[in-house]
Structure 1
Amino acid sequence: MESKVNYTAVGLFVVLLAALLGGLGWWLATGGKQVATRPYLIYATDNVSGLKTDSNVLYRGVTVGKVASIEIDPKNPSLIRIKVEIDRSVPVRSDTVAQLSPLGVTGLSAVNLIGGASPTPLPTPPGEPDPVIPYKPSVFTQIEGGINDAAITLARISQRVDALLSPANVQAFSTTVHNLQALTATLAANQNNINAMFANARQTSANLAQMSAEGDALMRQSQALVKQLGGVSEQLGKVMPQISAAASSVTRAGNTTTAFTNTGIQAMAQLQNRTLPEVDALMRNLQQLSSQLGALTESLKSNPSQLLYGPALPPPGPGEQP
Structure 2
Amino acid sequence: MSVFTNTSKDRRLALRVGAFMVMALVLAGLVVMLIGQETHLFEKQVLYRTYFAGVDGLSEHSPVWLNGLEVGRVDGVGFPTAPGEKRMEVRLKLGAEYASRIRADSVAQLSSMGVLGDKAVNITLGSLDQPPLAENGVIPSEGGGDVAAMLRGASKVLEDAVVVSATLRKAAEAYADPAMAQDVAAGVRSLRHLIEEVEKGDGLLHALIYDKDTGREVRTLVANASRTAMRMDRAVARVDSLLGEVEHGQGTAHALIYGQDGVNALKELGSAAGQLAGLLEDAKTNPDGAVHQLVYGSAGNMLSDLGSAAADIKQITAMVARGEGSLGGILKDPTVYEDLRQVVGNVKRNRLMRALVRFAIDNNDNVQYVGRPLSPQDAAARQAIGGSGPEPTLVPLPVPSGKNP
Q: Per the shorter chain, which TM-score range? A: 0.3 to 0.5
Higher relative contact order (CA 8 A, sep 6+): 1
> What TM-score comes out, normalization by structure 1 length?
0.47
> What TM-score comes out, normalization by structure 2 length?
0.39
Greater Cα radius of gyration, structure 1 or 2 = 1
